[in-house]
């Protein structure tokens, strides 16, 4: 009976996976035979090949695209990861055109994109850490500030930074967060809530004329650290002016100077920087600090807009602190997603 069943299976062409694999091999073989017999496979698809090369060049030289015209360089760097979507499209066009030249050319942007962003596709989160921090642009027009505060507190963060605080809503946030966080301070439109004592709280001048950044010392069990909270100015894309970000860039430079002058060795920056880690305009900050998402996250961690995240403009950055894990939190009543990170406090001499 067993021999009969085996014979029946063999006569039927094997298992479903085997039959599907056999059909795929036959299709690939027919396509390959057709391409080998067509002398035009090297001459066709030149437009697709040129587009693939141009895409690779843009990704390679993005840092040299000038900002003199509508801040085009920063605009490109903000959405740089999304350029990878053109690779499968160009690959499909190369196959449709039956062009070997185009297929080879498409390898260039694919390799460049993987070199730039392939590391973000792996999960780098680790266990451990002794402090959890979170940051959230709560949106000044948030219709449910109490619920938003409650959701962020539920993350278990030891230190929480909030940006875009409307003065009339501050008491609501204070009431919602008071059961979890004994200490807090608000400066202008930003604030920090902590389970551990705060001291040396002061505003940080980021050249706006009003307060959208602050600094505080947190006395955590692992030692003291400086926590900066910042909300850099928004950027705009205008038809007549392109990507306008001059005010944001000036504020980023001022924030970088303040962090560079910090007396404590351990520093955490929490906030909405209105820019990605690829954006050269944030160099004054990114040159001296590490992104927790890049060092210990999984994926790109896009945080804005909350309905369909396209970019990570809400950042947690560290200096003298070891990132262990980083993640985004569920959506609240804001147009941004909250982001959180777990860190290990390194030994400090300060």
Token output for 325: 């894990």
Pairing of strands 131-137, 159-163: parallel
Report domain extents, the chain. Answer: 38-121, 131-345
- Whole-angstrom distance, CA of residue 132 vs CA of residue 134: 7
Pairing of strands 314-319, 267-272: antiparallel
Q: CA geometry: angle at 312 spanning 54 and 236, to 5°? A: 75
In CATH, which of 3.40.50.620, 3.60.10.10, 3.90.550.10, 3.40.50.1980 is domain 131-345? Answer: 3.60.10.10
At residue 342, the pLDDT reads 97
Token output for 90: 């160009």
Hey, is 284 helix, strand or coil? helix
Closest among 288, 286, 289, 262 to 276, alpha carbons compared: 286
Hey, is 27 helix, strand or coil? helix
Interhelix angle 46-60/100-117, rounded to 10 degrees, is 20
C-beta separation of 265 from 348 below 8 A: yes
Q: Given a cut of 50, is residue 242 above it in pLDDT?
A: no
Positive or negative, the CA dihedral 280, 286, 292, 295 is positive
Residues 49-90: tens digit of each pLDDT: 999 999 999 999 998 888 777 678 888 888 999 999 999 999
Candidate from 78-87, 95-104, 191-200, 201-210 with smallest mean pLDDT: 95-104
pTM of the full predicted structure? 0.83
Candidate from 125-134, 167-176, 230-239, 313-322 with smallest mean pLDDT: 230-239
């Amino acid at each position: 009976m067993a021999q009969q069943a085996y014979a029946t299976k063999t006569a039927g062409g094997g298992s479903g996976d085997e039959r599907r694999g056999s059909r795929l091999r036959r299709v690939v073989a027919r396509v390959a035979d057709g391409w080998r017999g067509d002398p035009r496979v090297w001459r066709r698809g030149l437009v697709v090949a040129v587009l693939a090369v141009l895409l690779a060049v843009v990704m390679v030289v993005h840092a040299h695209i000038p900002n003199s015209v509508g801040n085009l360089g920063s605009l490109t760097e903000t959405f740089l990861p999304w350029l990878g979507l053109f690779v499968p499209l160009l690959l499909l066009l190369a196959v449709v055109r039956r062009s070997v030249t185009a297929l080879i050319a498409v390898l260039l942007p694919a390799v460049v994109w993987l070199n730039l962003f392939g590391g973000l596709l792996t999960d780098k989160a680790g266990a451990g850490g002794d402090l959890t921090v979170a940051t959230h642009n709560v949106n000044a027009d948030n219709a449910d500030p109490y619920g938003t505060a409650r959701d962020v507190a539920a993350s278990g963060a030891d230190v929480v930074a909030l940006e875009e605080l409307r003065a009339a809503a501050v008491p609501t946030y204070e009431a919602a967060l008071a059961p979890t966080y004994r200490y807090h301070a608000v400066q202008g439109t930003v604030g920090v809530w902590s389970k551990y004592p705060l001291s040396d709280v002061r505003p940080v001048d980021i050249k706006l004329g009003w307060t959208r950044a602050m600094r505080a010392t947190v006395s955590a069990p692992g030692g003291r650290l400086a926590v900066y909270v910042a909300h850099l100015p928004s950027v705009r894309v205008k038809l007549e002016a392109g990507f306008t970000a001059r005010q944001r860039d000036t504020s980023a430079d001022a924030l970088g100077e303040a962090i560079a002058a910090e007396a404590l060795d351990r520093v955490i920056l929490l906030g909405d920087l209105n820019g990605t880690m690829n954006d050269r305009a944030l160099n004054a900050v990114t040159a001296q600090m590490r992104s927790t998402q890049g060092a210990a996250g999984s994926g790109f961690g896009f945080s804005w807009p909350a309905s369909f995240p396209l970019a990570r403009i809400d950042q947690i950055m560290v200096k003298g602190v070891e990132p262990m894990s980083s993640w985004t939190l569920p959506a609240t009543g804001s147009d941004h997603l909250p982001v959180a990170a777990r860190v290990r406090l390194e030994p400090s001499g300060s």
